[in-house]
Amino acid sequence: MALRINDTVPNLDLVTDQGSFKLHDFIGDSWAILFSHPKDFTPVCTTEFGAVAQLADEWTKRNTKVIGLSVDGVDEHKEWKSDIESYANAKAQFPIIADESLEVSKALDMLPAEAYLPDGRTAADSASVRVVFIFSPDKKLQLSMTYPMSVGRNFAEVLRALDALQASYGVPIAMPANWIPGDDVIVALSLDNEQAKATFGEIDIKLPYLRTTKQPN
């Protein structure tokens, strides 16, 4: 299935280097980020997973669990983690899904339904498996990003997007271009000016449809 914004993610069975469990049980009452990669022991993926490991404290501050995925096996994940940790000088404490059957990748529309893994595969055989999903505690998809093989993900941007999602979760605001935490936010169009003032206090009316206010605490 194609997973769209606000869809509830299927409660998939996951096999990882840290044991087997259901996706919904993993998410629990937290935010969660699922990030996939084409293949273990490849250069770009190692730098990406190293970046995730280095941000461990930042994920914890945001009540966010992270979980990786590739179509490699559990033993390969465990062996590869030593390379990740050596490169990043940080512990890779998050689980990595071993999606050897492609069930998770196909269920989340990361690979075509007819996809299969050839003998002696390369990263190019699973090139479409380079995705970021951010789920809220209600198990709904809040954001997705898809990257090509040649572009490593910027996890500072993933962190910024997570901050924006959490700040606006259930709050009638949106974030402007290049927003970072602490910047002014946009008042949702669902509020008229009086409602906006009653909700946020002072607002700055830049255009009839573009009103900003201080980021709510």
Give pLDDT tens digits for 1-25: 578 999 999 999 999 999 999 999 9
What pairs with residue 144 in β-bridges?
133
CATH number of domain containing 92: 3.40.30.10
Lowest mean pLDDT among 11-15, 22-26, 42-46, 75-79: 42-46
Residues 38 and 107 in one domain: yes
Structural domain boundaries enclosing 59: 13-162
* Low-confidence winner among 7-11, 66-70, 99-103, 205-209 (lowest mean pLDDT): 99-103
User: Does residue 94 sit within a domain?
Assistant: yes
What is the torsional sign of CA 18, 22, 169, 208? positive
Residue 6 lies inside a defined structural domain of this protein: no
Q: Model confidence over 118-153: pLDDT tens digits? A: 666 655 665 556 799 999 999 999 999 988 878 899
pLDDT tens, residue by residue, 89-107: 999 999 999 998 888 988 8
User: Would you say residue 28 lies in a domain?
Assistant: yes
> Do the bridges between strand 64-70 and strand 31-36 make them parallel or antiparallel, or are there none, so unpaired?
parallel
Whether residue 152 sits in one domain with residue 177:
no
Q: Is residue 167 part of a domain?
A: no
Q: What is the pLDDT of residues 153-204, one digit of tens each?
A: 999 999 999 999 999 999 999 999 999 999 999 999 999 999 999 999 999 9
Query: 151 and 74 in one domain?
Result: yes
Q: Considering 45, 111, 159, 161, which one is annotated as catalytic?
A: 45
Task: Let me know if 29 is a catalytic residue.
Answer: no
Contact 7, 141 (CB under 8 A): yes
Residues 193 and 108 in one domain: no
Do residues 79 and 179 share a domain? Answer: no
Same domain (yes/no): 131, 193: no
Per the structure, the count of domains in the chain is: 2
How high is the pLDDT of residue 217? 85
CB–CB of 194/205 below 8 Å? Answer: no
